[in-house]
């Protein structure tokens, strides 16, 4: 029996059904049944529950099914807060576009081999006299020659 809904009421119904089946089987002394309860929760909550258990330094064998349910509700609250934060960022992204275009705020690559941004093409320095003569030579060649005696 798997719960796919992230609605609090549906999670509560799922918890009550699983608890009714869990305790008659002797789930207090059986850690694999606790793993089954975690696996029966929605896929979005499972990794967050595992992270919370790691931060609280709790093992699946020592926690009760009620504590796991409380962690699931806390994980759901955290996911809702993250969604709200992303909505706020998306709504305020227009204000941030101008800030990211400033040159002193741009992130540059430290190692050129790891960088995906292409560097600007560099031009070599040439003495100004040489370039002036080349431009003048090109202008002379491109002029049309006049024909005075046309037929």
pTM confidence score: 0.58
Query: Where are the domains positioned within the chain?
Result: 8-92
CA distance 45 to 73: 9
The string of DSSP codes covering 51-85 is HHHHHTT--TTTS-HHHHHHHHHHHHHHHHHHHHH
**Are 73 and 8 contacting, i.e. CB atoms less than 8 angstroms apart?**
yes
pLDDT digits (tens), the chain, 151 positions: 777 788 888 888 988 888 888 878 877 777 888 888 888 898 888 999 999 999 999 888 888 888 999 999 999 999 999 999 988 888 877 766 666 566 666 666 656 555 555 556 667 666 666 555 565 555 555 556 666 666 6
**Contact partners, residue 65, CB within 8 Å, separation at least 6:** 15, 18, 19, 22, 27, 34, 37
């Amino acid at each position: 029996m798997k719960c796919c809904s992230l609605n609090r009421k549906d999670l509560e119904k799922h918890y009550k059904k699983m608890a009714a089946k869990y305790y008659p089987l002797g789930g207090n002394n059986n850690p694999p049944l606790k793993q089954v309860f975690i696996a029966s929760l929605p896929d979005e909550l499972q990794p967050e529950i595992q992270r919370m258990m790691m931060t609280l330094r709790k093992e699946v064998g020592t926690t009760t099914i009620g504590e796991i349910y409380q962690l699931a509700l806390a994980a759901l609250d955290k996911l809702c807060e993250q969604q709200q934060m992303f909505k706020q960022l998306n709504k305020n992204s227009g204000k941030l576009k101008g800030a990211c275009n400033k040159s002193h705020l741009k992130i540059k690559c430290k190692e050129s081999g790891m960088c995906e941004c292409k560097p600007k093409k560099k031009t070599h320095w040439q003495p100004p006299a040489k370039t002036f003569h080349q431009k003048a030579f090109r202008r002379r060649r491109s002029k049309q020659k006049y024909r005075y005696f046309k037929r």
